[in-house]
Structure 1
């Protein structure tokens, strides 16, 4: 190490140290150090210099976290980590030093490190161009396979090697998952980070392939630390107390999670299942802590009522399809009487979508029905605003109310017809229908909680997993059609 490098390294030790998320504290959570607010909402009116401009400069601008000298030194340390002349052991040691530096940095300095990894570790465009030309010329000749190999190698960025260097460390996978989670709020405002984000997603999809994952049951007898994670990560129906979580792990329930060998105590995704005698129509009895456990000898239905991803850093890496299949196989083996597999699912996008499309839906509502809606809402002829205002009192509507039927029709249209780029609009529907399920039944006030009313006027839906029709339903969706039960199809609007 020369004198300038030694001085630079010592100076960085005098800079402010801010503790990050799990790397400084076992409490977890996203690091907010050095941030005044969510980066997605911050004012970035000042034009930022490009990373290359900053590397070539001498002075730091006021808004920049790292000085040009520090930026150059960090880039040098990143490059040294993947220097082909060093051993794997030395490369790992250097990666470990970088992790330690990262954990002491503010979020702004971490962002500079992301930018370096994203922009300065790209594949050589000239090598790619040359290899691509050779591959194109070799197509149809005996040299085609070799040319393709060379082209693929040319497109591999040094960034991938850098990620691999971190990943071999004992804490490396955990570190990288947390790094990507920290990056997520910044991606929309800074497209320069997309290359690193996509590279990480690609690498994670390989490292977290379901073939490497272990399906484990989470029960009341599991370690307390694991049960606490269940409480922490539950994303569908908040767990209110220890009695609540105990109810969800009772004898008539099952909870399963996928675990990775490098994150043995951290479920990547988990599903909660109720074993009962019928297709559930309301979440209330399933979450009733005082209700007696169901008789497992009579249970013929398995109801998936909550599926939660736990790692924001693994966004885009799909586990749910395989999780449900594995759970169905496990339950069928343990309980041969189980014949039906269904969800009781929220409809998180319904209220917002209806607010944006109520006028269009009202226009395709038959005239006779519009007259009845106007009378029920107290305005004739009714507008979309009148109906939406009347639906604020959805809990008071009786079974014969035209407003109730119209809301169910809108929900059936939303789930069974509306597509964006060939995929269902609703995120939960997109997941289950993509797995081959069918929209089976709408449930009025299936979730009467404040959250349920806010996101879907209290409506919930059952998606049916008919094991004999999963492939057929997936094929139908690929052709632009959504598999729905007859009752849902009857509710959908008929365009005159």
Structure 2
């Protein structure tokens, strides 16, 4: 099988995986979500079964209809989990026992796995009496020479056996992979079942330590990388889907770079990867970058490094941030290889813009002066223009010419959304929140930067450049901490 056939087969297979994944949350709805659906269809709340805690189920003799494991099997599973953290066994033996439980988990149904999550969350908690006593002793010791010792004892008392359990699971070779996948399995059910939150928070804390960027390796992914690694690139690309073998080869060509962070315990699995184009200007649209027939750019003339796709690959590592360090390390690596590079910027989607516009178009129209409102009204065929008339016109963005009042209004709105819209003091748009949090600034809006159906649907085709000015990253972070989003003069000029 040649490279073209192999990549085409892989693309087809992973495209199928993505479609199937989009169906899983509903198909595998836990009991609490099923109850919500019954309420929505008019069923009586009294008719819904009560959800028993694991404490109640462990004391019972019979399994209720919605429960996966019987009380007897639940008790046996708890015994096996407790045996893992038995203080009388060694780390090696604890890891061996954990591996055995992981083997059971691999063959369990989703609802059986959910019962194990509940056991880990509800049955491995800190001793409440010891915590209460240590807290009282610490409070009494504040301001005395014993304060430091009392604080240490209090901190130790609050550490749950759950943490020790997770450490034992991490002891066997595939343990990291197992725990990351377990949390990925669990994440869709957190909102519906708050009992799982204790386990989730514990895992996020442990992962933030185990996957600290100091332990990660930066590696380049190229066309010469192992086939299995290129498969991962196809599978996990989250911004611009890879469509063919030519598409993959284009993204790994001589004028491109792709880098990923890898953990020593998961050496063949990128945790996050970034795709970079090396060109002689700031990119204004994604189509030329994804053009498989285009000749490679002349690296001798490249002055701009454009980050056009950043993809996290592990859902189970949600809340663990790699992006800031990844971009810094990539910039350092690129500067060493290409000293002529002067500008580092992104070409980014604006995923939340069209949804936000649907809710805020009326307020944006009210901010217009009489002249701008009249021009817009004539363009949409209704004066004064209403939010609905403007939104209908916005859905034809790809047909608007440069002088269109609707196009101008969309740029006004996008600038406001990116540079003014805040939630809890942070940028509303998730991509903006990521890059601005890393010290970038909003540099330029690009009309029809992404004319694909996806781009039109989520942002009326607009894309944005975030500029990483290496000398001003700290200044931009300081501005953001004050609730001020750093923007270029061009973006400021678009504010209404």
Structure-1-length-normalised TM-score: 0.92
Q: Which residue of 2 aligns with 1:63?
A: 66
Q: Which residue of 1 aligns with 2:412?
A: 409
1:240 is paired with a residue whose SS is: coil
Unaligned 5+ runs, structure 1: 1-26
Shift of residue 46, structure 1, vs aligned partner: 2.9
Q: Which residue of 2 aligns with 1:350?
A: 353
Provide the rounded CA distance (Å) in 2 between the counterparts of 1:334 and 1:424.
34
Provide the rounded CA distance (Å) in 2 between the counterparts of 1:107 and 1:33.
11
Q: Which residue of 2 aligns with 1:299?
A: 302
Shift of residue 31, structure 1, vs aligned partner: 12
Establish whether residue 116 from structure 1 lines up as the match of residue 119 from structure 2.
Answer: yes
Provide the rounded CA distance (Å) in 1 between the counterparts of 2:396 and 2:22.
41
Match of 1:492 among 489, 492, 495: 495
Contact 1:255 1:273 in 2 (8 A): yes
Q: Which residue of 2 aligns with 1:151?
A: 154
Provide the rounded CA distance (Å) in 2 between the counterparts of 1:186 and 1:365.
44
Q: Which residue of 2 aligns with 1:128?
A: 131
2:456 is paired with a residue whose SS is: helix
Q: 1:289 to 1:32 in 2, by over 3 A?
A: closer
Shift of residue 206, structure 1, vs aligned partner: 0.3
Match of 2:485 among 469, 482, 495: 482
Shift of residue 36, structure 1, vs aligned partner: 3.9
Q: Which residue of 1 aligns with 2:332?
A: 329
Provide the rounded CA distance (Å) in 1 between the counterparts of 2:29 and 2:457.
24
Q: 1:290 to 1:245 in 2, by over 3 A?
A: same
Q: 1:323 to 1:34 in 2, by over 3 A?
A: closer
Establish whether residue 281 from structure 1 lines up as the match of residue 299 from structure 2.
Answer: no
Contact 1:117 1:159 in 2 (8 A): yes
Q: Which residue of 2 aligns with 1:220?
A: 223
CA deviation digits over 1:329-349, x for unaligned, max 9? Answer: 000010000010000000000
Q: Which residue of 2 aligns with 1:434?
A: 437
Provide the rounded CA distance (Å) in 2 between the counterparts of 1:239 and 1:478.
37
Q: 1:292 to 1:371 in 2, by over 3 A?
A: same
Match of 1:384 among 384, 387, 402: 387
Larger CA deviation: 134-143 vs 373-382: 134-143
Contact 1:343 1:463 in 2 (8 A): yes
Establish whether residue 338 from structure 1 lines up as the match of residue 330 from structure 2.
Answer: no
Shift of residue 488, structure 1, vs aligned partner: 0.4
CA deviation digits over 1:438-478, x for unaligned, max 9? Answer: 00000000000011001000000000000000000000000
Provide the rounded CA distance (Å) in 1 between the counterparts of 2:237 and 2:25.
28
Provide the rounded CA distance (Å) in 1 between the counterparts of 2:329 and 2:359.
38
Shift of residue 34, structure 1, vs aligned partner: 12
Provide the rounded CA distance (Å) in 1 between the counterparts of 2:266 and 2:21.
18
Contact 1:34 1:108 in 2 (8 A): no
Provide the rounded CA distance (Å) in 1 between the counterparts of 2:155 and 2:101.
29
Q: 1:83 to 1:34 in 2, by over 3 A?
A: farther
Q: Which residue of 2 aligns with 1:100?
A: 103
Establish whether residue 42 from structure 1 lines up as the match of residue 26 from structure 2.
Answer: no
Provide the rounded CA distance (Å) in 2 between the counterparts of 1:47 and 1:137.
43
Provide the rounded CA distance (Å) in 2 between the counterparts of 1:364 and 1:46.
51
1:127 is paired with a residue whose SS is: helix
Q: 1:468 to 1:98 in 2, by over 3 A?
A: same
Contact 2:25 2:188 in 1 (8 A): no
Provide the rounded CA distance (Å) in 1 between the counterparts of 2:434 and 2:273.
15
Contact 2:33 2:192 in 1 (8 A): no
Provide the rounded CA distance (Å) in 1 between the counterparts of 2:25 and 2:83.
28
Larger CA deviation: 87-96 vs 72-81: 87-96
Larger CA deviation: 339-348 vs 54-63: 54-63
Contact 1:31 1:107 in 2 (8 A): no
Establish whether residue 266 from structure 1 lines up as the match of residue 266 from structure 2.
Answer: no
Contact 1:270 1:309 in 2 (8 A): yes
Q: Which residue of 1 aligns with 2:242?
A: 239
1:304 is paired with a residue whose SS is: strand
CA deviation digits over 1:147-194, x for unaligned, max 9? Answer: 111011001000000000000100100000000000011001000000
Contact 1:437 1:465 in 2 (8 A): yes
Alignment of 1:147-186 (within 5 A): 147-186=150-189
Contact 2:216 2:262 in 1 (8 A): yes
Structure-2-length-normalised TM-score: 0.92
Provide the rounded CA distance (Å) in 2 between the counterparts of 1:32 and 1:383.
37
Contact 1:438 1:483 in 2 (8 A): yes
1:303 is paired with a residue whose SS is: strand
Establish whether residue 367 from structure 1 lines up as the match of residue 370 from structure 2.
Answer: yes
How many residues matched?
467
Q: Which residue of 2 aligns with 1:4?
A: none
Q: 1:353 to 1:191 in 2, by over 3 A?
A: same
Q: Which residue of 1 aligns with 2:84?
A: 81
Q: Quick check: which one's helix share is greater?
A: 2
Q: Which residue of 2 aligns with 1:465?
A: 468
Alignment of 1:436-455 (within 5 A): 436-455=439-458
CA deviation digits over 1:309-342, x for unaligned, max 9? Answer: 0000000000000000000000001000001000
Unaligned 5+ runs, structure 2: 1-16, 37-47
